[in-house]
Amino acid sequence: MADRHRRTRLRGDLSLREEDEFDSPYGYRPMHMQSRWGRTVMAFRRVRRDSPVVIECIWILVIIAIFLGIDIGYLSHTHQVDMQGIEVVYKRQMTEMETRYKKQIKDLESLTIDHKSKFIDTHKEHANEMRKKQKDYLEDMVNNLNGKLKELVSAADVHWDDHDKFHNDIHGTDITEEPKVKAGGRAVVNSL
C-alpha cells in the first residue's frame, strides 16, 4: 500500500520529490487526516507538480491583482486630491457668489429707497401742480360766473329801469324826477 502512494506521489516530475517529502514513513499524511489548510497546501503542491502552467497563470493573476490594487489606490488618492481641489474651488465660488449676491441685494435696496423717494417727490410735485391747475381752473370758473352774474344783475337792472321808464311814460310822471330807488342797487354779488 505504501508503494501505491509512493507511485502516485512520484508520478510526473521527479525533481519536485524532495520538496514534497514529509517526515512520515509514507511521505505524507493521508487526505482524511489533513486539516483544511493542509488539504489546500497538498492540492496546491499537486497542481504545481502536475500542471505548472496553472501555477504560472495564478502568479500572473496575482501580479495583475497587485498592479490593479496599486492602480486603484493611486486613482483613489488622485480622485481624493481632485475632490479636495474641487471642494476648495466650490467653496471659493460660493463665497464669491454670496458676496456678489449680498452686494446686489444692497444695491437693490438702495435703488428701491432711491426710487421710492423719487416716486414720492414726483408724486408731491404732481399733486402740487394738479392743485395749482385745479385752483386756477376754479378761480377762472368763479370769475367767469361772477362776470356772468354781474352781467345778469346789470341786465336785470336795465330791465327794471326800462320797466320803470315804461310806467313813468304811461302815468305821465316827469322824467326829470329821480326815482326813489336807484337802478342796480337791488342785486348784490358777493365775491370770493
pLDDT tens string 69-127: 999 999 999 999 999 999 999 999 999 999 999 999 998 888 888 888 888 889 899 99
pLDDT level of residue 1 (50, 70, 90 thresholds):
very low
CB atoms within 10 A of CB 163: 10
Q: Which grid coordinates belong to 85?
A: 481641489
What is the C-alpha to C-alpha distance for residues 54 and 49, in angstroms, rounded to an integer? 10
Q: What is the DSSP letter of 100?
A: H
Give the model confidence (pLDDT) of 116-138 as tens digits: 888 888 989 999 999 999 999 99
Q: What is the pLDDT of residue 6?
A: 53
168 CB burial (10 A radius; 0-12, 13-18, 19+): middle
What is the pTM (predicted TM-score) of this model?
0.35
Give the model confidence (pLDDT) of 145-182 as tens digits: 999 889 999 988 888 888 888 877 776 655 555 555 54
pLDDT level of residue 27 (50, 70, 90 thresholds):
low
Mean pLDDT of 44-49: 79
